[in-house]
Structure 1
Amino acid sequence: MKKHYRTEDNCLNCGATVAGKFCSECGQENLELRENFLHLAMHSVGHYFHFESKFFSSMVPLFTKPGFLTKEYFAGRRASYLSPISMYIFISIVFFFLFTANTNINRNNLVEDVTPEEKAEAQEIIGSLKGPLSGRALEKAGNHTSLAALGQPTGVADTTLQAETIGEAIAAADKKGKDELRIDIGEDNAFVQSLTAKLKKVMSDELSLALFKNKLVGHFPKVMFLLLPLFALILKLVNWRSSKYYVEHLIYSIHVHSFLFLFGSILILLGWLLPSLSEYFIFLGVLGAMWYIYRSMRNTYKGSRWMTVSKVVVLFFAYSTLFTICALLVVGATLYTM
């Protein structure tokens, strides 16, 4: 449908002179303000399909042509594709939504796998173990020992002796475990001991453990966003002979992470459709990610086959180390904020 343009040549957005249909200063289209509903609707639909065409023209090469979008970006052909930041934000939102939903589904399945009879049996076993070995029972056993020494029946004394023996064994085992723990983590490392105590406290309570896992999942997007520039820095160090600037490595890093999130989203959906093959999908995801990084690096940095393989291996171990460090920091911070 034909658009109605204003006859005036002043831009209503920034006030600059408009020579054609678009303002050369701000880019706003010089359309007539008073349009009927049909024109307004068609204009909005046109903008939508324009975004949709850019979306698909970006998603398809991102998935099927490793390194293509990065080369197009720095070749100046950017208008036909989504910007790297916008694409990363959109795909990461979809991925983390699916990832969180998948985590909750797995947690519910684990809870549902335990039948009420099994829960009752477990509670009964725990109760039977706690009763005879509790501090109150041992205290009563000590009182019975004193009565036996004053001439009470030997059956009571024997029972008391058994209770004392069990209590001493438990105390000795507990003391041995604590001593071994001190040897492992060091007596002077108060931070590690405090962290260990908090972790034990969280693991001992189902509600605290569920809250801890939810917070960890919530921090995962922040960790990945932090790893983006670090991944680009590793690329800069690995390709130290390259003449590329850091921002070029950063754009490549954004495109790689966008693919990983897109690929991960597809694998999560496949896991929901075919739950019996979920383990194979994880294996497929690792292989697919390694192959994609290899092909994209080869297309972007133009290295030989074996040189690219060696760079991918170094990149993998360096990135895994950084991810582990960040994960441990997040775990520690989450424990101290609970």
Structure 2
Amino acid sequence: MSEISESLAEVGQGALAANAAEPEAGGAGDGHTHESACLNCGTALIGSHCHACGQAAHVHRTLGAFFHDLLHGVFHFEGKIWRTLPLLAWRPGKLTREYIDGRRASYISPIALFLFSVFLMFAVFHATQGHEEGKTTGNLIGIGQNVESVRADMRKLEAERAAAVVRGEATGSIDRQIARKKEALAALDSLEAEGLDIEISDKSGKGIHSDIPQIDKALKKFKANPDLATYKLQTYAYKYSWALIPISVPFLWLLFPFSRRFHLYDHTVFVTYSLCFMTMLVIVTMLAGALGAAWVGAVLFFAPPVHMYRQLRETYALGRLSALWRAWLLVWFSGTALLLFFILIMAQTGG
């Protein structure tokens, strides 16, 4: 129940953040006053907003109106959400081009939609990805069994090393495996002292490591305390989700190098709306999985390339072949951008 409450809180927070970027247009209704002069600056009103400071002409002063505005902000976005989402899903290129060309009043801005979709994605994640206390995913075995397993592997490796020495062969590879086993054993001993359980998912004994020091440090923290590391990973991914935009824009620019027709602003709008769609796709996949329809995720796996192709073609007025090869490259560029984002998050987690 607490996870659902936290999820609703995050949805509300996302709505408020998105509403800050996409102010509501206001309007008459129950719980709203009807002023002849702006309550903020005193200017005479000639419409639904003050032409001097931009504040809505009608402000709510009842508790019912307050909650109406809250629900309105979460689910309605002044009606723009219902005009934006269909275009985002089916004609993303038209939505992007309309916004770039200045026809924006009917749609949610890309950054507002991005903020809201990210909040919603993490809210759905927390609501659907429950876990049991004191356990991690996979096959769990007790600390004592883990220690004995590692020690048995070490004895086997030491026997292999001794045999290699007798044969006059190099032992560098075996020495590195033994060193990693010793590190794992030290970590298990500390966990055993705390009475915790741990999952050993790498049966080969080689472990997972990286040549990048920050990431290697983060991976070691994952091994030592998976639950804490996973929590930190989610937290940093949540905080730095906006970084996907500046990471992705240069890759899109590479598809139109030195173009005078298209500018970085165009690419930024394109990338932000595209990320909104991909985030919504993840939300649908998680909800489908929670409802026992995991096959939906398998079907939606093919949606991103098609969406990129359609968005590229209409946003940049490309022919089919031109949009096709750019979409193919964009799929690879997107994977690279996600990898860079993951490296950024792992480096932060390992700090």
TM-score tier after normalising by the smaller chain length: 0.5 to 0.7
Q: 1:249 aligns with which of 224, 249, 267?
A: 267
Among the aligned pairs, what percent are the same residue? Answer: 23
Matching residue of 2:253? 236
Q: Distance in 1 between matches of 2:339 and 2:300?
A: 19
Query: For residues 131-171 of structure 1, what are the alpha-carbon distances to aligned partners after superposition, in whole Å with 9 as ceiling and x for unaligned?
Result: 9x89xxxxxxxxxxxxxxxxxxxxxxxxxxxxxx9598499
Residues 254 and 315 (structure 1), Cα distance of their counterparts in 2 relative to 1, 3 Å cut:
same
Of 291, 300, 304, which residue of structure 2 is paired with 1:285? 300
Once the two structures are superposed, residues 238-269 of structure 1 have per-residue CA deviations (whole angstroms, 9 ceiling, x without a partner) of 12335122112111111111111111101110
Asked if 1:127 is matched to 2:124, the reply is: no
Q: Which residue does the alignment assign to 1:260?
A: 278
Aligned counterpart for 1:305 among listed residues 320, 342, 347: 320
Q: Give the unaligned 5+ runs of structure 1.
A: 135-164, 183-190
Partner of 2:232: 215
8 Å contact 2:215–2:347 — kept in the other structure? no
Match of 1:28 among 32, 37, 55: 55
Larger CA Rg, structure 1 vs 2: 1
Amino acid at match of 1:97: A
1:238 aligns to what SS in structure 2?
coil
Alignment equivalent of 2:291, drawn from 259, 273, 298: 273
Which residue does 2:242 correspond to in 1? 225
Task: Check if 1:59 corresponds to 2:85.
Answer: yes
* Alignment match, 1:12: 39
1:55, distance to aligned residue in structure 2 (A): 2.2
In 2: Cα distance, 1:235 partner to 1:245 partner:
11
The alpha carbon displacement at 1:233 in A equals 2.5
CA distance in 2, matches of 1:125, 1:44: 53
- CA-CA distance at 1:302 after TM superposition: 1.2
Offset, 1:230: 2.9
- Letter of the 1:85 counterpart: I
1:77/1:287 CA distance change after superposition, 3 Å? same
Q: Hey, what does 2:22 align to over in structure 1?
A: none
CA gap of 1:234–1:28, structure 2 versus 1, over 3 A, is: same
CA contact (8 A) 2:215 2:346 kept: no
Matches of 1:193 and 1:304, distance apart in 2:
42
- Alpha-carbon displacement from aligned partner over 1:260-282 (angstroms, at most 9, x marks no partner): 111110111001112xx53x444
SS of the equivalent of 2:83 reads: helix
Say if 1:91 and 1:262, in contact at 8 Å, map to a contact too: yes
How far is 1:53 from its partner?
2.0
Count of residues paired in the alignment: 283
Contact 1:98/1:268, CA 8 A, preserved across alignment: yes
| Correspondence for 1:70 | 96
- How many angstroms apart in 1 are the aligned matches of 2:150 and 2:342? 37
Greater helix proportion: 1
Gaps of 5+ in 2: 1-28, 180-209
Asked whether the 8 Å contact 1:100–1:217 carries over to 2, the reply is no
* Structure 2 length-normalised TM: 0.64
Task: Give the Å deviation of 1:288.
Answer: 0.5
User: Could you tell me whether the CA contact under 8 Å between 2:100 and 2:269 is conserved in 1?
Assistant: no
